[in-house]
Amino acid sequence: MASKKTFKELGLSAKVLEAINSKGFEEPTEIQAMTIPVMLRNDTNIIAQAQTGTGKTAAFGLPLIEMIDPYASGVQALILVPTRELAIQVSEEITSLRGDKDITTAPIYGGQSIDQQLRRLKKGVHIVVGTPGRVIDHLHRKTLKLGGVAHLILDEADEMLNMGFIEDMEEIMEHTNPNKKTLLFSATMPNRIKDLAHKYMDDYELLAAKKEQVITNLTEHIYFEVKGSDRFEALCRIIDFEGDFYGLVFCRTRSEVDEIARHLTDIGYDAESIHGDISQVQREKTLDSFKKKKVNILVATDVAARGIDVVNLTHVINYSLPQDPEAYVHRIGRTGRAGNEGTAITFITPSEYKRLMFIQRLAKADIKKSKLPRVQDIIQAKEKKIHDDIAAILEGEIDGKYYNIVKKLATEHHPTKVMAAIINYCFEDELNPDTYGEIKEFGDRGRPLDQQGTTRLFVALGKKDKMNARKLVDLIRGRTSVKPKHISDIQMMDKFSFVTVPFEYAEEIIGSFKGEGKRKALITHVKNAQGGKKGKKNKK
């Protein structure tokens, strides 16, 4: 079968094979084994049908690296993707696969400074990875020339169709070199995509990887919305709540992996780390300890975790949100295996919610929001585990030397007090709720739960009144009982300002500032932060 071939058998050069090995890739996926040789032949267009999570980026990225001429000027390849996150991920993936070949790749997408992109393009780029809207913007500005493009990749074509980019895709294709080779990657083949292929691709070879269930239904997918600074506390709560936690914790960078693993170890957890800077000998030693459950927590980067084959993991935790759906599928595919149930947990900040929903849609995973275990729930779970463990010991044989210690203590103190003292001696820190910090949870609208009932206030003072955020807080605090921690989201303009406060304090603030000279009220409602009607702004 094609998927059993080695990368070497696909026709890749020694330098590219070296880069593949350094990334930890062991054997090509089915779509990689099918696509790479055909692309390297460079004699036909390709339509490749494969699901997210099957290694599509490397399938077209590796042949591109082989065929790009680093000494030629101008853009030689254009990769169109539906989102900025995917543009960044694809660009980074190709850069990581290029080895020491001097190839430049640039992601261009909306939301990033166009001046920054202009400078990058002016310096010269071999591969452009872009979203349709921003690519068209550059085409209209004449800052991106595609006449010399030898390869056009349409990645996630069906998703671009769903997002309304089909006309943009057609316009871009009309600006490209008519003699280019086109590769269209799509998980599904709706009629509109087929029409696009017939219109712009002439002869093509169809490659279809067999459909696999890349996400097992034995895995439960949940996410927690927390501040970035609360992620470590959230991780500890999950580990402690699950009595038999045995899992992978994914971070985005090597430094973060080291920091999290070290912090876990410092406070008594059995954790180790793997990433690209770790030697092969150390990697094998670490994996052996993990597989034998000498450590129950392995903190890893995406690249370093490739090739880890452990079938009985209870959890995979995305400490950092993965860059794209494919990375999500790769990560969580390591739990819920061999008939075992597992849980995939993702931490996100409120600003990452849209990215998570994009990942959910493409990965076809039902990721449900959940609440972190409360401290009292964790303590109760620990108490139950202690009870069950002691009960199990009582059912077996107990060494006589322990009886001697207890007998002596029991003659001096009440047996119940003796047992309580032993529990205290053994588990004082473990059962202490003060070892846990506070975590600010977020509600459905991405606001902290203690600010769900909030309102936005208009303040008729601004920068021209020599007002700043600190002075505004002091002004409100000086006239009301409102504490600074309840005043948030301060926005200072030249002649006015905005603040957000809980509903319960709003009327007190407004009342304390009525009758300010010519103003009917210095501070008034603007709108209900829950989406209520706009109020009238007071004029001077």
Do 355 and 226 share a structural domain? Answer: yes
Residue 288: the pLDDT is 87
Given a cut of 50, whether residue 504 has pLDDT beyond it is yes
pLDDT at 381: 86
Share of the chain above pLDDT 90, in %: 31
Instruction: Check residue 451 and give its pLDDT.
Output: 44
Average pLDDT over residues 234-255: 90
Domain boundary residue, one of 208, 231, 257: 208
Q: What are the angstrom distances between the C-alpha of 34 and each of 154, 209, 474?
A: 17, 8, 66
Measure the CA–CA gap between 93 and 194, rounded to whole angstroms.
Answer: 28
pLDDT surpasses 60 at 307: no
496 and 351 share one domain: no
pLDDT of residue 444: 52
Q: What is the pLDDT of residue 191?
A: 87
> In the prediction, which pLDDT does 212 show?
57
The 10s digit of each residue's pLDDT in 10-41 is: 999 988 998 888 776 778 888 999 999 999 99
The number of domains in the chain is 4
Asked if residue 369 and residue 238 are part of one domain, the reply reads yes
**Can you give the C-alpha Rg of the chain in angstroms?**
29
Residue 166, domain CATH: 3.40.50.300
291 domain residue, yes or no:
yes
Per-residue pLDDT band for 303 (boundaries 50, 70, 90) equals low
More confident residue, 238 or 406: 238
- 81 compared with 449, residue with greater pLDDT: 81
Neighbour-count burial for 34-71, b at 16+ CB within 10 Å, e otherwise: bbbbbbbeeeebbbbbbbbbbbbbbbbbbbbbbebeee
Q: Lowest-pLDDT range, 290-299, 504-513, 526-535? A: 526-535
* Range from 114-123, 200-209, 303-312 that averages highest in pLDDT: 114-123
Specify if 465 maps to a domain.
yes
* Stretch 306-325: mean pLDDT: 81
Model pLDDT, residue 399: 85
Q: Are 51 and 200 in a shared domain?
A: yes
Q: What is the mean pLDDT of the chain?
A: 83
CB 128 within 8 A of CB 135: yes
Residue 117 pLDDT level (bands cut at 50, 70, 90): very high
Q: Do 360 and 399 belong together in one domain?
A: no
Which domain CATH number covers 463? 3.30.70.330
CB atoms within 10 A of CB 344: 26
Of 354, 373, 392, the domain-final residue: 373
Residue 539 has what pLDDT?
34
427 and 283 within one domain = no
Percent of the chain with pLDDT over 70: 88
- Asked if 245 and 328 sit in the same domain, the reply is yes
Question: What is residue 507's predicted lDDT score, i.e. its pLDDT?
Answer: 78
Pair (278, 419) in one structural domain: no
Query: Does some domain include residue 313?
Result: yes
Residue 250 lies in a domain: yes
Predicted pLDDT at 103: 93
Q: Assess if residue 523 is contained within a domain.
A: yes
Q: What counts of helices (H) and strands (E) characterise the chain? A: 20, 20
Whether residues 249 and 339 share a domain: the answer is: yes
133 located within any domain: yes
Per-residue pLDDT tens over the stretch 415-465: 888 888 888 888 887 788 877 877 876 655 444 444 446 778 888 888 888
pLDDT, tens digit, 9 for 90 and up, residues 359-387: 888 777 889 999 898 888 888 888 888 88
- What pTM does this model have? 0.56
Query: Locate tokens 């927690």: which residue?
Result: 224
User: Tens digits of per-residue pLDDT, 158-179?
Assistant: 888 888 888 999 999 999 988 9
Please check whether residues 426 and 284 belong to one and the same domain: no
Decide which of 187, 208, 229 is a domain's last residue. 208
- Res 515: pLDDT: 59
Between 249-263, 329-343, 491-505, the lowest mean confidence (pLDDT) is in 329-343
Q: How far apart are CA 532 and CA 515, in angstroms?
A: 26
Domain shared by 184 and 49, yes or no: yes
pLDDT, position 215: 57
Q: State the DSSP string of 106-159.
A: EEE-TTS-HHHHHHHHHH--SEEEE-HHHHHHHHHHT----TT--EEEETTHHH
Does residue 46 contact residue 37 with C-beta atoms inside 8 Å?
no
What are the phi and psi torsion angles at 450 (to 5°)?
Answer: -80, 0
Is residue 518 in a domain?
A: yes
pLDDT of residue 351: 83
Tokens of 29: 């996926």
- 270 with 299, same domain: the answer is yes
pLDDT at residue number 60: 95
Residue 389 sits in which domain range?
376-435
Could you tell me if residue 442 is inside a domain? no
Euclidean distance between the first and final Cα of the chain, in Å?
78
Calculate mean pLDDT across residues 51-63.
85
Confidence at 306, pLDDT banded by 50, 70, 90: low
What does the DSSP 8-state code read for residue 534? B
Report the candidate in 4, 17, 31, 135 with the shortest Cα–Cα distance to residue 65: 17
Per-residue pLDDT averaged across 101-127, rounded?
A: 91
Mean pLDDT of 197-219: 76
Query: What is the pLDDT at residue 137?
Result: 93
Dihedral angle of Cα 287, 293, 299, 303, to the nearest 10 degrees? 30
pLDDT tier at 218, thresholds 50, 70, 90: low
